[in-house]
A = this chain, B = another copy of it.
């Protein structure tokens, strides 16, 4: 974990809604992992005031480059969208826990919706690369969008499933439905039980929680919660667990065993 100013290498539009920023990532700054995040100082003035968290969407240790994918939602992401390559970005990271590896023999099904797509694109690439070594199945990546013009221009791993609410691109329906189908289509059974990895909007997570429960499947969820410090100091990013306690999304998370989270309180 370090705070540093680093050059923006690329700031590219991926679709109507998404952009991708790639920055130089020095080797001694720590290793970005899928599910982990960085925070970005976006402004030289006092509004926006706080740093903004973004999950890593990729990391290339040889080239020394890390990336994140973001959606323009408000003032900070608007300012970020205007950052030109060559200017420097105020970055703090890597922060938070990453996705744990799939168990040997399991089929990782990665489900991303909305701004959750970045970490799952990253995880899909990683899990694929290390599938043989780790002994798990080749992962299936499922990404859900509202409409075709949201779908980002990204090289997705082979076998990825796209879906849109209106069927304008890929599979028509929700990412959770598609993920369940993908899990069933795999060698679903005692020797390749599915394990879901998910990040997305609250309704998607709630749907997945129900489906995972009825399948008896385990799943890892990267949660989003308003953050102030990003390093575990302010207790702002609390996530309610089913046992009634709170955990910090930035420190114990953002990746949690999905079944431990009280989604109703999110």
Contacts and interface: CB of A to CB of B under 8 A. Distances in A.
A78 B47 contact: no
Contacts of A45: 43, 45, 47-48, 75, 79
> How many of these chains are in the complex?
2
B44 A46 contact: no
- Contact-size category for A: under 10
B44 A78 contact: yes
10 contacts: A43-B45, A44-B75, A44-B78, A45-B45, A45-B47, A45-B48, A45-B75, A45-B79, A46-B47, A47-B47
Mostly, the A contact residues are loop
A91 to B, nearest CB: 21
Interface in A25-83: 43-48, 75, 78-79
A226 B79 CA distance: 28
Given A45-B47, A45-B48, A46-B47, 7 more contacts: A43-B45, A44-B75, A44-B78, A45-B45, A45-B75, A45-B79, A47-B47
Nearest to A43: B45
A6 to B, nearest CB: 20
A45 B47 CA distance: 6
A48 B44 CA distance: 11
A188 B90 CA distance: 60
Contacts of A47: 45-47
A79 B45 CA distance: 10
Interface in A69-117: 75, 78-79
A86 to B, nearest CB: 13
A51 to B, nearest CB: 15
A17 B45 CA distance: 21
A79 B75 CA distance: 15
A68 to B, nearest CB: 22
A78 to B, nearest CB: 7
A75 B47 CA distance: 12
Contacts of A43: 45
Nearest to A75: B45
Nearest to A42: B45
A46 B49 CA distance: 10
